[in-house]
Amino acid sequence: MRKRIRPLFFMSLCLVFSACSNIKYLPPGQNLYTGATVIINPDSTGKISEEKDVKGILEAKTRPRPNKSFLGLKVKLYIYNLAGEPKKQKGIRYWLRNKVGEPPVLQSQVKIPYNNAVLGSYLISQGYLQAKVTGDTVVKNRKAKAIYTAETGDRYIINKVTFPKDSAGIAAHINHNSSQSLLKPGSFYDFDVFKAERERIDNDLKQSGYFYFNPDYLILQVDSTIGKNRVNIFVKVKEITPNAALKPYTINDITIYPNYSLRSDSAIRASTPVTYNDFIIKDPKNTFKLGVFDRLVFFNKGELYNRRDHNQSLNRMVNIGTFKVVKADFIPVDSFKNDQLNVNFYLTPLKKNSLSFQVIGTSKSNNFVGSEVKLTQTTRNVFRGAEQLEISASGGFEKQIKGSDQKQGNSYSLTGQAKLIFPRFLLPFFKFNSTNAFIPKTNILTSYQILDRVDYTLKAIKAEFGYEWKENIYKEHIFNPISINYVKSNVVDSATLFQKNPSLRTSLENQFIIGLNYNFTYNDQVNQNKRNNIYFSGDLETSGTLVGLFASKDDAGKKSLFGTALSQFIRLEGDLRNYYKVNKKVIWANRLNVGFGYSYGNKPMPFVRQFFAGGSSDIRAFGSRLLGPGSYVIPDSVTFKDQGGDIKIMLNTELRFKIVSMLYGAAFIDAGNIWLRKNDPLKPGGQFKFNSFLSQMAVGTGAGLRVDASFFVIRLDLAFPIRRPDLPTGPAWVIRDIDFGSSAWRKQNLTFNLGIGYPF
């Protein structure tokens, strides 16, 4: 009991000392402001709905905010006082007082009448039309606290909503979509909904040609005299609305300046225009083919203006990746006297050639994860159709630093790649144009890659033809109907290796991987206002299905092409992530990653398409590719340590929190493993079985630091296992064995991971 009392007594002394120390530095006659409390309807037995949330919002609206505190201690204020008044505007005292510390918030800074008005206004906006707020301060021991009492009254409810009655003109358009109104009889009076309703009506009018209308021309009159805490709402167009806002406009001339610059403005305007469909194009240098603008401009001459075509045109011009400045001017014909608009699009292209340098985190299809340096040369508008040619060279590495006697999982890669991007679908028999704001793309890609590890070297030649498009800001598709890979391997001491592990011979031999692949991605992280964000990526890949019908068989009866083995398989993988914002500084991130590979044709999954476990972006407590399959234990005599499998299940949970400035911390738990689809006598315990796979899950935990500078993230993680399915004897859980004080335990179990980018 005494041992418990002493720390509590010490903490109490710290609290008292800190409070007293801060107060003694206050100017004479001043009190330290400690914050505000709001009391709602203290003399009434009635409670308002969501009272706790309303109370929190009201208290957050009071000003000023008190000094920041941590565990009850106003540390920043204490540092400010402790530093004292510096003699010079530099040095440690100046830095502590002005950069780290925080000046005291005084009672004299509190404006009670102002806060009364702010809180009362908020309550009225939420439907408490009879609300009154009164405030006062209470002082004790030179500490002042503001107390605000809110008498809300009953919350008002919408009784009826009336729209303009005219059957023609702008009133008719407002009435046309009145069934979509956000103002519903029976719902609470809410000023935020009123504003949203005005914006809805304005958007509807913009779709019908009312270019010069805006929400400020609408007024919502409220009649609260009908009794029973109900209101009638009358939606009206203000009488002072200008005539230009009361009529719809049609599109007249559409002029495009695709190579515009202020320096050449006069020459471009004076150039001879080219008429193409509904467009007038002024491009004296003939920079672009005329057909490009069919995919960029959604307006047609003679049609009503509408906001959707306006936004989609601008979005496409921005997303095509060719222009650095995009501007649209809408000019009334004859100064508002008629109902027509001329449209001018001013497009300033990016430089023809550019060179970029990147340091990025990588996660390749062959399961190498780590960091990469990439140099890319981009040539734009290659064939005058806004195409892009990207030629890149990159070098990457993955380093797994593990304190054990196992071989470190280090890898290095060199890649050369050329990618030609067409901003449209290239289809052989028919023409297809998407109508949303995102540019569909056709990609033609070739690459050559060298992957070097301790035990083997892989060389891969790749060629792909496919399509990339977005349904909306959240959903993206990548479909490559033609994908050809030629993989050549060189294994160190292959004779000994294949003798000990014959299954590796077929998975590491030279081979063709010919088929198709498809990826679907859903990502709502672009919506930063959501508290809960979801990311999902699903992959499908097949090989040898169609080509296998025409391939010949070698002497062993296996399918081959040009004397090289043909891989035949189906591979599926899903990656689901959830990011939950606990508060402004804490994010709880979770991931579920599952994969399944099915090989046929008497040949296992190619090594570069197998699943692996362990590593800096995987199960961080285990070495890269050293975990699994199942409960299989890698013998010391095996020199080839990499372990692949046909099935993978992985779960990660990570709590990310801000420490200071760009420095973030993380605490995480990783779990999972890989398995073989079929039994391999040389890898006992490696086959997936429904009744035992849970008992073969590995679990690791740890903590890390991240330096997040927005454009790059450096990640340092330290992890250790708490469950090991590969132990030959004894229980799989090893929590009781944790001993940070033991150098032998640290060497055997602690794994340090260095990476660029977040693990997921």
pLDDT at position 8 over 50: no
**Assigned token pair, 634:** 């890698």
Per-residue confidence (pLDDT) for residue 497, from 0 to 100:
58
Per-residue confidence (pLDDT) for residue 406, from 0 to 100:
41
Residues 174 and 208 in one domain: yes
Contact 698, 724 (CB under 8 A): yes
Mean pLDDT, residues 207-223 taken together: 94
Say how many CA atoms lie within 13 Å of 227 toward its Cβ.
Answer: 0
The Cα 547–Cα 514 span in angstroms is: 7
Helix or strand or coil: residue 92?
helix
Residues 116 and 184 in one domain: no
The Cα 86–Cα 84 span in angstroms is: 6
Per-residue confidence (pLDDT) for residue 555, from 0 to 100:
66
Final residue in a domain of this structure, among 315, 349, 383: 349
Final residue in a domain of this structure, among 227, 246, 265: 246
231-245, 485-499, 736-750: least confident range: 485-499
Instruction: For residue 597, give the H/E element and its range.
Output: strand 586-599
Residues 228 and 369 in one domain: no
Per-residue confidence (pLDDT) for residue 370, from 0 to 100:
61
Distances (CA, A) of 322 to 309, 421, 424, 535, 549: 20, 12, 14, 29, 43
pLDDT at position 285 over 70: yes
Domain that holds residue 39: 2-151
Residues 262 and 360 in one domain: no
**Assigned token pair, 629:** 């399959």
Final residue in a domain of this structure, among 290, 315, 349: 349
Per-residue confidence (pLDDT) for residue 362, from 0 to 100:
54
Distances (CA, A) of 32 to 105, 108, 340: 6, 9, 64
Contact 348, 260 (CB under 8 A): yes
> At 134, which amino acid appears?
T
Residues 708 and 595 in one domain: yes
Per-residue confidence (pLDDT) for residue 6, from 0 to 100:
46
Residues 705 and 569 in one domain: yes
Q: Which DSSP string do the residues of 428-490 spell out, in sequence order?
A: SS------SSS--EEEEEEEEEEEEESSEEEEEEEEEEEEEEESSSSEEEEEEEEEEEEEEEE
Helices within 179-252 (DSSP H only): 191-207
Residues 495 and 618 in one domain: yes
**Assigned token pair, 141:** 């021991």
pLDDT in tens, 361-380: 554 434 445 677 889 999 99
Distances (CA, A) of 417 to 463, 501, 737: 10, 34, 48
**CATH code for the domain in which residue 495 is found:** 2.40.160.50
CA-based Rg of the chain, rounded to a whole angstrom?
Answer: 34
Distance of CA 186 to the CA centre of its chain: 38
**CATH code for the domain in which residue 214 is found:** 3.10.20.310
Residues 191 and 281 in one domain: no
Mean pLDDT, residues 724-737 taken together: 82
pLDDT band, very low/low/confident/very high, at 705 (cuts 50, 70, 90):
very high
Count of structural domains, the chain:
4
pLDDT in tens, 27-50: 888 999 999 999 999 887 678 888
Contact 600, 568 (CB under 8 A): yes
Say how many CA atoms lie within 13 Å of 19 toward its Cβ.
Answer: 16
Residues 131 and 187 in one domain: no
Residues 200 and 339 in one domain: no
Residues 431 and 506 in one domain: yes
pLDDT in tens, 134-191: 999 999 989 999 999 999 999 999 999 999 888 788 999 999 889 999 999 999 999 9
Which stretch, 383-397, 550-564, 623-637, 715-729, has highest mean pLDDT?
383-397
Residues 643 and 502 in one domain: yes
pLDDT in tens, 296-327: 999 999 999 999 999 999 999 998 989 999 99
Per-residue confidence (pLDDT) for residue 662, from 0 to 100:
85
